[in-house]
A = this chain, B = another copy of it.
């Protein structure tokens, strides 16, 4: 197998900057040194990805599916070494990482099946009409084609499912785009293991060299260099708002605009309506505390804002949440800076005008995130926009609104959200379509009487929302539709049958769903003789 690090050419002998990883569990330096990728090596990687593109993009769906399945198998073959390394690097508990590995492999297999089924290319066929006046109508057929090499940024909070072989990589490879990954500096050992699995799978299934490569760097420089390179045709990022914004601005420095998908998290507001609060405020309170403290609140769908109306039931809700928070065990946060930042941000918010602490969870180790619940009234919330910023960690803020009007006002003040949740009785939502419309205009996913944490990997999932939740609300980073981020339609006009991609040939040899006129069908088009 070829070495997965990038050859340094004539400068390889020069002293190289090395990165190490610190364990959030012990604070100690972990085994392993990771050479920082030089800028000329970043360029070389993109050139290699560009060279791999024509070969990789013309592999059949079946072939790419075999590649994705093989990646999953090679990840499993890493066995407990992978889980142990990820635990040491992120501090996430073993069951969580086992679950995440299952999710990662599930995602790879989901995309493999999506490719095998084949209809994702969105084939559309318009029959010709040679007799039309004044001009004959041509035969037109369109399908999705991959964009080219893409840059993916591994996320810190999901070292497997949103990192090296996570949903971004899986969907890009599924689409036919070579990947250059910026490894997350918090889990470089985990990344090296998974990268090796990907390269083994590529070799085993006959994929071109350099279909997957990774680069290492601290700070933003390596990543900025990557997205500015003209050979990169799209980029995907999951992480902080500041990180996403810096990369977005770097793409603006390019001559050509590229699709850039940053999923930056949000406060995921929960609206609890009065009847629901009266009837089951205690249950809702327990659910919400469980959701915002899960894995130390390190989910991008963490419910950080709870909007309620003053009145009966509010005390029940707050009491239940208070009680649940107090008994909540603290959990380790996944990176060194993350806990410091969490403490700082939650303390800052508690000092803002009108913000009062309801309760804190048990205080654990020095790297744990301590559950924190606070409240504020609507007026103080509205005059302090800082209260809208996400606190990454187990923090949630109850915003108490005196009436419906005020609740709507608070809602309208919010930026874009990944999710919005309604805790309500059906009866109290009739005639309140305005409330639902406001929520929908602000989010990518609307949840009814549930919690937003838990992002199903399925066709109808949409994980992305209006700015600042994500940089492009039109695309999802979770679920099969995530493949749409890396493709564009191409139209074929009067192309002879023999030169058409299989997906567009008249007799539909792939037996996929295609749109012909206004109908979807798995039949052939009858558009042209097969002679």
In residues 515-531 of chain A, which contact B (Cβ within 8 Å)? 515, 517-520
Chain B interface: which of A27-35, A82-90, A336-344, A455-463?
A: A455-463
B491:A259 contact, CB within 8 angstroms: no
Chain B interface: which of A118-126, A186-194, A308-316?
A: A118-126
Q: How far is the CA of A125 from the CA of B461 in the complex (A)?
A: 9
Chain B residue with minimal CB distance to A99? B134
Give the number of times this chain occurs in the complex, counting copies: 2
Q: How far is the CA of A142 from the CA of B58 in the complex (A)?
A: 31
- For A488, the chain B residues whose CB sits under 8 A away are 444, 466, 473-474
Contact indicator per residue, chain A 115-135, by CB within 8 Å of chain B (1) or not (0): 001010000111000000001
Contact indicator per residue, chain A 433-450, by CB within 8 Å of chain B (1) or not (0): 010110011011111111
B444:A490 contact, CB within 8 angstroms: yes
Q: A138 on the interface (CB 8 Å rule)?
A: yes
A443:B494 contact, CB within 8 angstroms: no
Q: Is the interface of A mostly helix, strand, loop or mixed?
A: mixed
A460:B125 contact, CB within 8 angstroms: yes
Contact partner of A426 among B429, B444, B498, B515, CB < 8 A?
B498
Contact partner of A256 among B135, B426, B468, B515, CB < 8 A?
B468
Q: A467 on the interface (CB 8 Å rule)?
A: yes
- For A147, the chain B residues whose CB sits under 8 A away are 473
CB distance from A297 to the nearest CB of B (A): 18
- For A141, the chain B residues whose CB sits under 8 A away are 460
Q: A454 on the interface (CB 8 Å rule)?
A: yes
Residues of chain A at interface, number, CB under 8 A: 73
- For A109, the chain B residues whose CB sits under 8 A away are none
B257:A491 contact, CB within 8 angstroms: no
Chain B residue with minimal CB distance to A498? B426
A490:B440 contact, CB within 8 angstroms: yes
CB distance from A440 to the nearest CB of B (A): 6
Q: How far is the CA of A443 from the CA of B495 in the complex (A)?
A: 14
Contact partner of A489 among B252, B426, B450, B476, CB < 8 A?
B476
Q: How far is the CA of A473 from the CA of B467 in the complex (A)?
A: 22
Q: How far is the CA of A140 from the CA of B117 in the complex (A)?
A: 21
Q: How far is the CA of A346 from the CA of B24 in the complex (A)?
A: 66
Extra A-B contacts (6), CB below 8 Å, given A126-B460, A446-B495, A459-B515: A54-B441, A140-B461, A444-B490, A446-B493, A450-B493, A461-B491
11 contacts between A and B (CB under 8 A): A124-B459, A140-B461, A141-B460, A142-B461, A256-B467, A257-B471, A426-B496, A445-B493, A461-B491, A462-B489, A513-B519
Residues of chain A touching chain B, judged by Cβ–Cβ distance below 8 Å, are: 54, 58, 117, 119, 124-126, 135, 137-138, 140-142, 145, 147-148, 248, 252, 255-257, 259-260, 416, 426, 429, 434, 436-437, 440-441, 443-450, 454, 456, 458-462, 466-468, 471-474, 476, 481, 487-496, 498-499, 513, 515, 517-520
Nearest 6 pairs of A and B residues by beta carbon: A256-B467, A462-B491, A520-B520, A140-B460, A445-B491, A126-B460
